[in-house]
Structure 1
Amino acid sequence: MLQTRPQNYIPALTGVRALAAYLVFISHYSYVFSTNMPPIAQRFFGEFHIGVTIFFVLSGFLITFRYYNNFHLTAHWFKQYLKNRVARIYPMYALLTIGAFIYYAFTKDESITKGYNPVVMLLLNISFVRGFFYNFWNTGIAQGWSLTVEECFYFSAPFAFLIARRYKKFWLQPIVITLTGLLLVTMFRHVNWYGFLGNFTFMMLFTFLGRCFEFFVGIQLAIYVLKHNFTRSNKISYTYLGFALLFVCVLIMALLPIPKGWAAGLQHPVGILINNYILPGCIAWFFYGLLTEGTLLKNILANKTVELLGKSSYIFYLIHLGWMYNLLNNWFNRGNDFAFEWYDKWGINWPSPFENDTVNLLYAFVLLNLVSVILFKTIEEPLNHYIRKSNFLVKNKPHNPENGSALIK
């Protein structure tokens, strides 16, 4: 077994971010490439939304691994902490969200606003507030609902650390948070306020109140690793065991009936139980294996190319569904029309390079990754460093160890 001391940067976990983003991509477009597959295969790929759960557990681990042993819940520390979180998450999200509403201004694509006032929707999206309303959660950049969940975790994490260390109340916290969510749904489900915490399924799957357990599993893993380092006393292959169990969970959700009005087995009560409470444990085993074992899968995830894709995966996640993908798809359709017009003009009977939806999806996947890497290198990374070094929220010191940390990207 590997016995290395903890380090500030773990390349394989950066690669995991790319894996998670690609799983979500597959889940959103499974209808394209699985049309000729058996129904169970279509359902199986459709449940690859587990990439979101991987993101949540990973966030819990990384934030804790970086901050747990040196946090001081003072005003200055908290401002610096929030500054780093804003630098990481907000700039690209804001720019791409504004881009979505500019796209709406030209196309009137109702998927952006769901028929509501575009100015109000822009404000709700920019402020992350839309994530608390069932009527609004998938406006703007639809998949951006998960950032409301992430921001709730970022804000509450230092307080969770404090309660865990000072009062020795760790697992009580997610129980209290979820019970609070259930109570709020009971209070608001009959209030016609744009679906604010309007139903139990929405609360459990699309808000921090329902999904907090995933973060706490990541927190627990980080605390264990901080206490025991990366040493191991057994030879269990946690990497492959955890990885295999991820897809066992996927299969079970694929076999569940889809509740009326929803889209996947995830939304079945058993699916919620598996996704929110069983799957995170499997992910933690997988992560623990990556941290403590030397495997082929770890080497692949730590590969320099995969690492770069992992660093740009946040942007890929934000653009893989919605306005930017729609632009690409429109270009493919125009290219297809142009190709056949050209063939007709010259009397050629050739296939069009854009006539196959599965091939077009592959084009989009490659192009979206290319765009993501370019935006990461030219906008996201420079803005991240600029904000961290600026006097935003708190005056920057000449040397700030947090600014040099490569763990939390």
Structure 2
Amino acid sequence: MVFFHHFNPCKNSTGTIGLFLERVCEQWHVGVTIFFVLSGLLISLRYFDSIELTRNWAGRYMRNRLARIYPLYFLLSAVTIFFAATCPDLGLMPEWQTFSNPERGMLTFLNLSFLRGFFSSFKFSGISQGWSLTVEESFYLIAPFLLIGIKYRKQLIWLYAPALIMAGLLLTKIFAPLNLFGFFGSDTFLFNYTFFGRSTEFIIGIALGLLVKKELLANHHADGFKWTLAGVTWIAGSILVLVFLDSPNDFDNGLINPLSIAINNALLPVGIAMLFYGLIFERTLIQKMLESRLMDALGKSSYAFYLVHLGIFSLLLDKYLTESIVVKFVFLNGLAFLLYKLVEHPMHKKLAWR
């Protein structure tokens, strides 16, 4: 979904149906929302019963999280920065050419440390789609405290999202007037690109994880496909509402309409949770397809695909081979699978705490 959001196959279509499909693909940024809900689900399933606020546990937890994400991100970020510095004609990080050396050093540090996602001026620098990893790593840091709170009192889960949003609004109120390269630069930036603004997606995922754990303990097995169908319908309906509300040319600024933000950040995740619940407990054709060997392989390499689908490799394909979206999709999936096999998985095994 994110790939076809960035490389819209219906771009510049004519006719009512073509224009409608173009607008639909523009809203497929919701793939990121699906990912955030999934993250909340998986972290709660994996760690709720074993969590400890001790130095050893925290060290293992963060080491495992970084081992999964950082090695490949570091490698591809370094490649991107190298090409931005040596091949300006490719158009990677155009700000690099106007920055002084100290500013370039700061930009490199922000990219390699995941911190660039807190700055609206730098959020699309380096591996542009990697802004979401700042959100993801923020969740990883805060998740243990959220889970410990729920262990103490389950009702706290309903206060988490409002409290985190209020904290984000306070940070924006403090830092936006200072113009620190867009550090918490606006409310729109807060709700599109920071963990505080998008915390509802993770919290709904955590709530789903607690429900799934309860159902699994009860050996629950659902019949039919009502939750899967309800989830798909809810997601499709949310996308249609976003199509109606949003301008098709607002990618650089994210969702601007407050109602669109509310739908993407709070209403849509409910449908995503329904779909995941159905995929876990209901035997459907979608479930069988997603558990096939091909989809399993694509799933394992999906993080690598996310990192390479937009950036240096895509630009090199455009420049030296083809601009075909189909060829690009197939080639970059193949590259992602190789990166998973040769870099991501071996490094994860080597660095993760056993």
Q: Is the structural similarity TM-score above 0.5? A: yes
Counterparts of 1:283-302 in structure 2, within 5 Å, are 283-302=272-291
Matched, 1:328 2:305: no
Q: State the one-letter code of the partner of 1:202.
A: F
Q: State the one-letter code of the partner of 2:77.
A: T
Whether the 8 Å contact between 1:101 and 1:118 is mirrored in structure 2 is: no
Counterparts of 1:367-386 in structure 2, within 5 Å, are 367-386=331-350
* Structure-2 residue corresponding to 1:183: 170
**CA apart distance, 1:43:** 1.1
* Structure-2 residue corresponding to 1:112: 93
Whether the 8 Å contact between 1:214 and 1:280 is mirrored in structure 2 is: yes
* Structure-1 residue corresponding to 2:113: 127
Alpha-carbon spacing, 1:211–1:162, altered in 2? closer, same or farther (3 Å)? same
Matched, 1:35 2:15: no
Q: State the one-letter code of the partner of 1:183.
A: L
Task: Between 117-126 and 72-81, report the one with greater CA deviation.
Answer: 117-126
**CA apart distance, 1:257:** 3.7
Q: % of aligned pairs identical?
A: 38
User: 2: CA distance between counterparts of 1:260 and 1:373?
Assistant: 32
* Structure-1 residue corresponding to 2:184: 197
Counterparts of 1:280-319 in structure 2, within 5 Å, are 280-319=269-308
Matched, 1:271 2:260: yes
**CA apart distance, 1:323:** 1.3
* Structure-2 residue corresponding to 1:207: 194
CA deviation profile, 1:46-67 (whole Å, cap 9, x unmatched):
1001110011000100111011
User: 2: CA distance between counterparts of 1:54 and 1:248?
Assistant: 15
Q: State the one-letter code of the partner of 1:368.
A: L
* Structure-2 residue corresponding to 1:140: 126
* Structure-1 residue corresponding to 2:29: 49
Whether the 8 Å contact between 2:305 and 2:336 is mirrored in structure 1 is: yes
CA deviation profile, 1:61-102 (whole Å, cap 9, x unmatched):
011101101111111011000110011010001100001011
User: 2: CA distance between counterparts of 1:260 and 1:327?
Assistant: 25
Q: State the one-letter code of the partner of 1:375.
A: L
Q: State the one-letter code of the partner of 2:196.
A: L
Greater gyration radius: 1
* Structure-1 residue corresponding to 2:45: 65
Aligned length: 342
Give structure 1 stretches of 5+ with no counterpart: 1-22, 333-353, 390-399, 401-409
Alpha-carbon spacing, 1:254–1:260, altered in 2? closer, same or farther (3 Å)? closer
CA deviation profile, 1:155-177 (whole Å, cap 9, x unmatched):
11110011111144112111111
Counterparts of 1:336-375 in structure 2, within 5 Å, are 354=322, 357=323, 360-375=324-339
Whether the 8 Å contact between 1:113 and 1:121 is mirrored in structure 2 is: no
**CA apart distance, 1:200:** 0.5
Task: Between 236-245 and 144-153, report the one with greater CA deviation.
Answer: 236-245
Whether the 8 Å contact between 2:34 and 2:272 is mirrored in structure 1 is: yes
Whether the 8 Å contact between 1:290 and 1:298 is mirrored in structure 2 is: yes
Whether the 8 Å contact between 1:57 and 1:218 is mirrored in structure 2 is: yes
Matched, 1:388 2:322: no
User: 2: CA distance between counterparts of 1:293 and 1:93?
Assistant: 35
User: 2: CA distance between counterparts of 1:29 and 1:377?
Assistant: 26
Whether the 8 Å contact between 2:222 and 2:282 is mirrored in structure 1 is: no
User: 1: CA distance between counterparts of 2:94 and 2:45?
Assistant: 38
Q: State the one-letter code of the partner of 1:300.
A: M
Whether the 8 Å contact between 1:133 and 1:194 is mirrored in structure 2 is: yes
User: 2: CA distance between counterparts of 1:237 and 1:197?
Assistant: 41
Matched, 1:24 2:11: no
User: 2: CA distance between counterparts of 1:268 and 1:385?
Assistant: 43
CA deviation profile, 1:211-253 (whole Å, cap 9, x unmatched):
0110111100111111121614675611122012212111111
Alpha-carbon spacing, 1:264–1:294, altered in 2? closer, same or farther (3 Å)? farther
User: 2: CA distance between counterparts of 1:259 and 1:46?
Assistant: 6
Whether the 8 Å contact between 1:40 and 1:255 is mirrored in structure 2 is: no
RMSD over equivalenced CA pairs, Å: 1.9
Alpha-carbon spacing, 1:172–1:206, altered in 2? closer, same or farther (3 Å)? same
Whether the 8 Å contact between 2:225 and 2:283 is mirrored in structure 1 is: no
Whether the 8 Å contact between 1:83 and 1:387 is mirrored in structure 2 is: yes
Task: Between 363-372 and 322-331, report the one with greater CA deviation.
Answer: 322-331
**CA apart distance, 1:322:** 1.1
User: 1: CA distance between counterparts of 2:212 and 2:302?
Assistant: 25
User: 1: CA distance between counterparts of 2:278 and 2:4?
Assistant: 25
CA deviation profile, 1:128-181 (whole Å, cap 9, x unmatched):
111101101110000000000000001111100111111441121111110111
Q: State the one-letter code of the partner of 2:158.
A: W
* Structure-1 residue corresponding to 2:230: 241
User: 1: CA distance between counterparts of 2:250 and 2:37?
Assistant: 28
Q: State the one-letter code of the partner of 1:372.
A: A
